[in-house]
Chain A
Amino acid sequence: MKLFKAGAAAAVSVVLALTATACGGSSDKASDSGASGGAKKDKIVIGIKFDQPGLGLKNPDGKFTGFDVDVATYVAKELGYQPNQIEFKQAVSAERENLIANGDVKLVVATYTINDKRKAKVDFAGPYFVAHQDLLVRADDSSITKAEDLNKKKLCSVTGSTSAQNVKTKLAPEADLQQLPGYSECLTGLENKSLDALTTDNSILAGFAAQEKNKGKFKLVGLNLSDEPYGIGLKKGDKDLQTKVNAALKKMVSDGSWQKAVDTNFGPANYKAEPAPQITEGS
Chain B
Amino acid sequence: MFDFLNSGQYDVLGAFWVTVQLTLYSAVGSLVWGTVLAGMRVGPVPLMRGFATAYVNLVRNIPLTVLIIGCSLGLNQTLGITLGGSNFKEIGFRLAVLGFIAYTGTFVCEALRSGINTVPVGQAEAARALGLSFFQVLRLIVLPQAFRAVIAPLANVLIALTKNTTVAATIGVAEAALLMKEMIENEADALFAVFGVFALGFVVLTLPTGLLLGWVSKRVAVKR
Flag whether B188 is at the interface (Cβ < 8 A).
Answer: yes
User: Which residues of B have CB within 8 Å of A194?
Assistant: 76-78, 80
Contact of A165 with B182 at beta-carbon distance under 8 Å, contacts A4-B196, A97-B188, A97-B191 already known? yes
Most buried by A among B88, B186, B200: B88
Binds B, one of A5-13, A209-217, A263-271: A5-13
Flag whether A188 is at the interface (Cβ < 8 A).
Answer: yes
Q: Main SS of chain A's interface residues?
A: helix
Flag whether A176 is at the interface (Cβ < 8 A).
Answer: yes
Binds A, one of B31-39, B46-54, B164-172: B164-172
Mark interface residues in B181-195 (1 if CB within 8 Å of A CB, else 0): 110111111011100
> B residues 68-94 with Cβ under 8 Å of A?
69, 72-73, 76-78, 80, 87-89, 92
- Taking a contact as CB atoms under 8 Å apart, the answer to whether B181 and A192 are in contact is no
Q: Main SS of chain B's interface residues?
A: helix
Mark interface residues in A153-179 (1 if CB within 8 Å of B CB, else 0): 010000111101100000000001111
Binds B, one of A24-32, A62-70, A78-86, A113-121: A113-121
Interface residues on B, range: 20 to 34
- Taking a contact as CB atoms under 8 Å apart, the answer to whether B178 and A179 are in contact is yes
**What distance in Å separates the Cβ of A138 from its nearest Cβ neighbour in chain B?**
15
- Taking a contact as CB atoms under 8 Å apart, the answer to whether B172 and A188 are in contact is no
**What distance in Å separates the Cβ of B133 from its nearest Cβ neighbour in chain A?**
48
- Taking a contact as CB atoms under 8 Å apart, the answer to whether A94 and B184 are in contact is yes
Which partner residue on chain B sits nearest A162 by CB separation?
B185
Q: Which residues of A contact B (CB under 8 A)?
A: 4-5, 8-9, 11-12, 15, 93-94, 97-98, 115, 117-118, 120-121, 154, 159-162, 164-165, 176-181, 185, 188-189, 192, 194-195
